[in-house]
Structure 1
Amino acid sequence: MTEFTIFPTVGSNAQKQLLRATLDMTIRSVSQLIDHHNVSSVVLEIGEDYFVFSVEDLLKHLHAGGSSDATLAELTLRKITCVFENERVLTAFEILESNGDRYLGVVDTTENLVGILTDTDILSAVDPTVLVQKKPSAIW
């Protein structure tokens, strides 16, 4: 069972097992990588920006008739907003809520990606009464 803390840091709740992909990887190879490591997404570093490709993106691509032989370079990837690992999860929640995303990158003081944080990670880390007090309209 998760122990609730009122304001934990994003670094303490981030998923630290990062699988990195490259633009030349095919959808099939990314799918196999995700399956083999039992994770829900891979990250890409392009220049100084970070992007995520998730199982959800994979399913959308395939259900839209996309080829499993397509490379990640052929797709529109989601750039992720990054926050420092010492930020509080409530701040991260507000960022996700304002930009409508599900993923945040977590970076260290040198801005290297050290983890990924999802909206689900945040919700499981914060006492629900804090969320209700913070934003009553956020209830289901």
Structure 2
Amino acid sequence: MSRTPRTSTRTAARGAAAVLALGLLAAAPASASSPAAAPAAPAVDPALVAAVAASPFTDGVPDGAWTVTDVRTADDVWAAAALEPVDPQALDPATALLRATPDGWEVVDLGTAQVGCGTAPDAVLPALGLLC
């Protein structure tokens, strides 16, 4: 798929911003106490999780540093998901926008604000819980 130079520049800038937003894991010592176990979350489509892990938007952030939660879909083409940090002091939560392709899910935007704006059709943003 070809992209216009404006989109490529925007995507590259958003990708860099997303890595900064997620942050790199800090070399802080682990806490001696661990929080109580939370109830199990509903299963998330493994293909969607794999797409997030393989995305250039998450390069530089270890896969085990976040979990994919709160998946929302619209018109069988678009999905949004929360990326929740395993250690909230090391990473910021983020939102991923994914699009279905013939090869599977593809992350097309990721960040902490304005995710999907100018990328997903305006008609699907409310169903995905995204605000512009």
Q: What's the TM-score, normalizing by structure 2?
A: 0.29
The structure richer in helix per residue is: 1
Q: Which has the larger radius of gyration?
A: 1
Higher relative contact order (CA 8 A, sep 6+): 1
Task: Report the TM-score when normalising by structure 1.
Answer: 0.28
Higher strand share goes to which structure?
A: 2
